[in-house]
Amino acid sequence: MIKSMEVKDTVNEQRKKIHPHKFTLWVALGSIIMMFAGLTSAYVVKRDQPGWTTFSIPKAFWYSTADILISSLTVQMALKAFKDREMLRYRNLLTTTAALGVFFVLLQWAGFREIWSSGITLRGSGGGQFLYVIAGLHAVHVLGGVIALLVMVIKAYFSKIRNYDSVPVELISTYWHFVDLLWIYLFIFFMAIK
């Protein structure tokens, strides 16, 4: 009787612990948050300097915002489908999320081209230069998420071994929601503080 109670306690303790991969992801997300907090703080401090130039938010950034919000919904639905063992639905939703991620990056590229063609380049001092750095770094993080999504899509369609461990899907879902929220923060930041 005592042994079975000890086993139950051990199992309950293991359930309360965070998975090492999830812990690593949260540490990485914390680091990314600090980096973007530092960059946006530098933007606020520098904008009062002489010679500061402003920019207009390109239309493509509005579309990319809608795109990434939809992709956050599809990745959440993919996670639910995976946990419900609806594998065809999971594959379709994960593929849709990856496609929306690629489309987000393309829309960002179009937005950057619009800003560049308006005469705001990386030379000089101003909000446009910060936008290139900050939104560009965000796009790199999204691209990393897209690569991870594509790897998961390939595994979902072509893996002969069926692994029903939800941790990888939970990790990509958490990361994708993070880059979504980060973009919303950056978009509002650039809209509010010019």
Full pLDDT tens readout for the chain, 194 residues: 566 556 555 555 656 788 888 888 888 889 999 999 999 998 888 888 777 777 788 999 999 999 999 999 999 999 999 999 999 999 999 999 999 999 999 999 999 899 888 887 777 667 778 888 888 899 899 999 999 999 999 988 887 767 778 888 999 999 999 999 999 999 999 888 86
Q: From CA 67, how far away is CA 104, in angstroms rounded?
A: 6
CATH code assigned at 99: 1.20.120.80
Residue 32 lies in a domain: yes
Query: Would you say residue 10 lies in a domain?
Result: no
Q: Is residue 12 situated within a structural domain?
A: no
State which residues form the domain around 35: 18-192
Distance of CA 1 to the CA centre of its chain: 48
- Total domains in the chain come to 1
With respect to residue 72, please indicate whether it lies within any of the assigned structural domains: yes
Classify residue 4: in a domain, yes or no.
no
134, part of any domain:
yes
What is the rounded distance in angstroms from the CA atom of residue 26 to the CA atom of residue 33? 10
Residue 5 falls inside a structural domain: no
Rounded to 5 degrees, what angle do the CA atoms 66, 72, 76 make?
150
Residue 58 lies in a domain: yes
